């Protein structure tokens, strides 16, 4: 890639207008009744497909594009133009066109072939222009549903989309939960933030007040509202990048603008970039479509409060994978988390990862984080399509390496811990595993045939490992509490070998007791006689030997307490202790004689 290409590269592929080479199309003669009233008499849909629909018609993946995207999600062959998601869609890629039949339609209201404001209004014989009705995301989805029917597909494997494509995914799940096995909303929101909405309003105002807008009837005029549309696009481009990404891209060349042939300010490098992007956009996009689509996005609202949103999701009992990006400020991680906790309230199967990224909202279109978001998408689709994975022994031990949380290293510490916990959990009980690592315990419970299972974990790699195992796991920091989870929502909440690494001990225990009917807490016993003697006799901070050897200065463990300390803690707070199992993990047995001295690990069953 030349330097100049890299300067102008972004999520925006900058394709020129015109019909797409591999596009197919269908016209639905039945009028489309719109959500907000009115109708579109006849809907023409342009779409592209990739791969082959299998005999069971069970491998179809619908991809919903965002504001300025189109049906050309990927190249069809080496000679083809680049697609907007070539990184993810193609043979052997995360959405593997060797395995899946991919469908990507242009959206209703757009300007890439599917009916929109630039289409001819049958009532007048002229383009709709401002007479094109106000449409919603649900209307776009209704058109996609017709297309899916037309293709003879009863049930999609998955519906996938980012940004406004994610709004379509959410709408699919709410309207047609039985028509897909799973959904993947990426970098999206239950409704736009007030900030994102505000940027859209300013963009529309720039178009609306462009003298060439002519109330939307500019198609037969010498010029359209190109300045207003370019201004709107410039605002958009700023919001797609993180401040860090802008600093990296434009910081060192601040006063070295590119000489681009545009009539916008070219004093600064970032100005020449925005001027170029804005001018390029008006060549391929219609201002009326911009007005129509952004309004549909701005009106999208499946609930703001947790209760409203949970209500919207009542029947959405399909499998969910939600992905956000840490530096995305247009569709912030908090918005994705709202979606996730509303699903959890309904006990729907959901996994969620907030992928670490500096790329901002564009991250899902960029290669930087592909290793992680691509892996999540690929593994989730594999699991949806029922591919059995054979778990290796290594994998079962993975949590030991990935998320060390014990000051001990006996030969098989977690397994003994897990064995007892699995025994303690009634079959069929719903279980929340806090600090689940890469899913060792959940995996055992799942194999046994458990009911609702959900893991909570902070570490990104552990989340990816859980998704690979087909487990439901959501990313959250336990130190921030469990406030998003409803009261008595799980039969059993497990905190295994994690309490000693938690800063807010009281908060997490209070949260567990509120959220779970019974709670299981396991932890290393700091008063184990071998540890006592290290301090008492050697005058040194206790540590153990072996693989998980931590020093006082680099241990993830920051709370040191004994069985007796924890008993007192419970007694002072009127926490009921149902059982206390004390273990000597080195000997691999339970301890009954003076557990506070002879056990190196304890498992408490508690409730309030």
Pairing of strands 576-584, 601-607: antiparallel
- The CB-side HSE value for 206 (13 A sphere, CA atoms) comes to 20
Is 544 catalytic? The answer is no
User: Taking Cα atoms as reference points, which of 181, 199, 555 lies closest to residue 349?
Assistant: 181
Number of residues that bind a copy of itself (CB under 8 A): 75
Catalytic residue among 163, 189, 327, 403: 163
Q: Shortest distance, CB of residue 252 to a copy of itself, whole angstroms?
A: 8
Helix then strand then coil, in percent of the chain rounded to 5, is 40, 20, 45
**CA 502 to centroid of chain Cα atoms:** 25
Catalytic residue among 12, 139, 286, 328: 328
Nearer to a copy of itself, 153 or 262 (CB): 262
User: Taking Cα atoms as reference points, which of 555, 552, 557, 579 lies closest to residue 566?
Assistant: 579
Report the SS3 class of residue 495.
strand
Nearer to a copy of itself, 87 or 235 (CB): 235
Q: Which of 21, 39, 247, 576 binds a copy of itself (CB under 8 A)?
A: 247
DSSP 413-430: HHHHHHHHHHHHSPTT--
Q: Enumerate residues 577-606 that contact a copy of itself by CB under 8 A.
A: 596-597
Answer yes or no whether residue 561 interacts with a copy of itself by CB under 8 A.
yes
Kind and range of the H or E element at 325? strand 319-325
Report the SS3 class of residue 278.
helix
Nearer to a copy of itself, 301 or 395 (CB): 301
Stretch that binds a copy of itself, among 54-62, 225-233, 412-420, 446-454 (CB under 8 A): 225-233
Stretch that binds a copy of itself, among 59-67, 107-115, 238-246, 584-592 (CB under 8 A): 238-246
Answer yes or no whether residue 497 interacts with a copy of itself by CB under 8 A.
no
Nearer to a copy of itself, 265 or 371 (CB): 265
Nearer to a copy of itself, 304 or 391 (CB): 304
CA separation, residue 43 to residues 338, 356, 401, 520, 532 (Å): 34, 41, 55, 57, 77
Q: Enumerate residues 52-81 that contact a copy of itself by CB under 8 A.
A: none
Is 76 catalytic? The answer is no
And the tokens for 490?
Answer: 């799980």
Q: Which of 562, 581, 584, 600 binds a copy of itself (CB under 8 A)?
A: 562
Catalytic residue among 72, 237, 361, 497: 361
Kind and range of the H or E element at 601? strand 601-607
Q: Shortest distance, CB of residue 373 to a copy of itself, whole angstroms?
A: 23
| DSSP strands (E only) in 163-311 | 180-186
Which residues, including other chains, have CB under 8 Å from residue 142's CB and lie 6 or more apart? 32, 175
Q: Enumerate residues 323-362 that contact a copy of itself by CB under 8 A.
A: 329, 332
Stretch that binds a copy of itself, among 54-62, 104-112, 205-213, 345-353 (CB under 8 A): 205-213
Using only C-alpha atoms, what is the Rg of the chain?
Answer: 28
Q: Enumerate residues 536-555 that contact a copy of itself by CB under 8 A.
A: 536, 538-541, 552-554
Answer yes or no whether residue 503 interacts with a copy of itself by CB under 8 A.
yes
And the tokens for 284?
Answer: 């391929």
How many other C-beta atoms lie within 10 A of the C-beta of residue 81? 14
Stretch that binds a copy of itself, among 100-108, 143-151, 344-352, 558-566 (CB under 8 A): 558-566
Answer yes or no whether residue 559 interacts with a copy of itself by CB under 8 A.
yes
Nearer to a copy of itself, 154 or 304 (CB): 304
Answer yes or no whether residue 235 interacts with a copy of itself by CB under 8 A.
yes
Say if CB 173 and CB 159 are below 8 A apart.
yes
User: Taking Cα atoms as reference points, which of 217, 42, 183, 174 lies closest to residue 115?
Assistant: 42
Pairing of strands 490-496, 43-50: unpaired
Q: Cα(486)–Cα(481) distance, rounded to whole angstroms?
A: 12
Site string for a copy of itself, 151-180 (x = CB under 8 A): ------------------------------
Answer yes or no whether residue 532 interacts with a copy of itself by CB under 8 A.
yes
Q: Which of 231, 350, 416, 605 binds a copy of itself (CB under 8 A)?
A: 231
Answer yes or no whether residue 41 interacts with a copy of itself by CB under 8 A.
no
Nearer to a copy of itself, 28 or 550 (CB): 550
φ, ψ of residue 426 to 5 degrees: the values are -65, 145
Answer yes or no whether residue 458 interacts with a copy of itself by CB under 8 A.
no
Answer yes or no whether residue 271 interacts with a copy of itself by CB under 8 A.
yes
Nearer to a copy of itself, 536 or 587 (CB): 536
Q: Cα(277)–Cα(376) distance, rounded to whole angstroms?
A: 31
Q: Enumerate residues 278-307 that contact a copy of itself by CB under 8 A.
A: 278, 295, 298, 301, 304
Say if CB 108 and CB 64 are below 8 A apart.
no
Answer yes or no whether residue 558 interacts with a copy of itself by CB under 8 A.
yes
Say if CB 163 and CB 362 are below 8 A apart.
no
Catalytic residue positions?
Answer: 163, 328, 361
């Amino acid at each position: 890639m030349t330097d100049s290409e890299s300067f102008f590269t972004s999520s925006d592929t900058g394709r020129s207008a015109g019909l797409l080479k591999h596009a197919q199309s269908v016209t639905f003669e039945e009028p489309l009744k719109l959500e907000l009233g009115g109708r579109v008499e006849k809907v023409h849909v342009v779409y592209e497909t990739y791969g082959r629909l299998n005999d069971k018609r069970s491998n179809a993946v619908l991809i919903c594009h965002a504001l300025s995207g189109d049906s050309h999600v990927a190249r069809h062959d080496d000679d083809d133009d680049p697609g907007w998601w070539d990184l993810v869609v193609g043979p052997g890629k995360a959405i593997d066109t060797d395995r899946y039949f991919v469908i990507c339609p242009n959206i209703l209201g757009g300007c890439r072939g599917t009916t929109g404001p630039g289409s001819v209004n049958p009532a007048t014989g002229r383009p709709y222009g401002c007479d094109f009705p106000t449409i919603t995301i649900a209307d776009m989805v209704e058109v996609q549903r017709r297309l899916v029917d037309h293709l003879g597909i009863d049930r999609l494997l998955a519906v996938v989309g980012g940004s406004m494509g994610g709004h379509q995914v959410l709408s699919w799940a709410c309207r047609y939960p039985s028509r897909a096995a799973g959904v993947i909303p990426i970098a999206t929101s239950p409704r736009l933030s007030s900030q994102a909405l505000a940027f859209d309003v300013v963009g529309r105002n720039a178009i609306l007040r462009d003298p060439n807008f002519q109330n939307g009837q500019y198609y037969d005029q010498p010029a359209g509202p190109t300045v207003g549309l370019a201004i709107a696009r410039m605002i958009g481009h700023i919001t797609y990048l993180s401040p860090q990404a802008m600093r990296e891209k434009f910081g060192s060349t601040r006063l070295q603008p590119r000489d681009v042939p545009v009539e916008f300010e070219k004093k600064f490098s970032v100005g020449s970039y925005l001027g170029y992007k804005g001018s390029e956009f008006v060549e391929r996009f219609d201002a009326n479509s911009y007005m129509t689509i952004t309004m549909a996005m701005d009106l999208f609202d499946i609930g703001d409060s947790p209760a409203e949103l949970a209500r919207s999701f009542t029947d959405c009992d399909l499998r969910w994978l939600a992905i956000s990006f840490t530096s995305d400020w247009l569709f912030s991680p908090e918005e994705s988390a709202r979606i996730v906790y509303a699903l959890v309230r309904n006990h729907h199967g959901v996994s969620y990862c907030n992928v670490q990224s500096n790329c901002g909202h564009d991250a899902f279109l960029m290669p930087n984080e592909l290793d992680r978001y691509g892996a999540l998408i690929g593994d989730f689709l594999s699991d949806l399509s029922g591919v059995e994975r054979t778990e290796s022994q290594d994998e079962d031990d993975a949590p030991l390496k990935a998320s060390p949380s014990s000051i001990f290293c006996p030969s098989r510490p977690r397994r003994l811990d897990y064995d007892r916990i699995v025994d303690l959990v009634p079959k069929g009980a719903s279980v929340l595993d806090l600090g689940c690592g890469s899913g060792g315990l959940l995996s055992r419970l799942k194999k046994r045939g458990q009911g609702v299972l959900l893991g909570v974990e902070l570490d990104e790699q552990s989340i990816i490992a859980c998704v690979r195992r087909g487990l439901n796991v959501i990313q959250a920091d336990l130190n921030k509490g469990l406030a998003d989870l409803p009261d008595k929502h799980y039969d059993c909440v497990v905190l295994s070998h994690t309490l000693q690494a938690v800063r807010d001990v009281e908060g997490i225990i209070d949260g567990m007791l509120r959220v779970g009917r019974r709670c299981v807490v396991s932890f290393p016993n700091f008063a184990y006689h071998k540890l006592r003697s290290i301090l008492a006799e050697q005058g040194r901070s206790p540590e153990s030997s072996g693989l998980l050897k931590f020093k006082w200065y680099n241990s993830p463990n920051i709370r040191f307490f004994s069985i007796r300390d924890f008993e007192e803690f419970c007694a002072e707070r009127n926490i009921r202790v149902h059982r206390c199992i004390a273990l000597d993990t080195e000997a691999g047995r339970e301890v009954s004689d003076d557990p506070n001295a002879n056990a190196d690990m304890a498992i408490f069953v508690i409730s309030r």
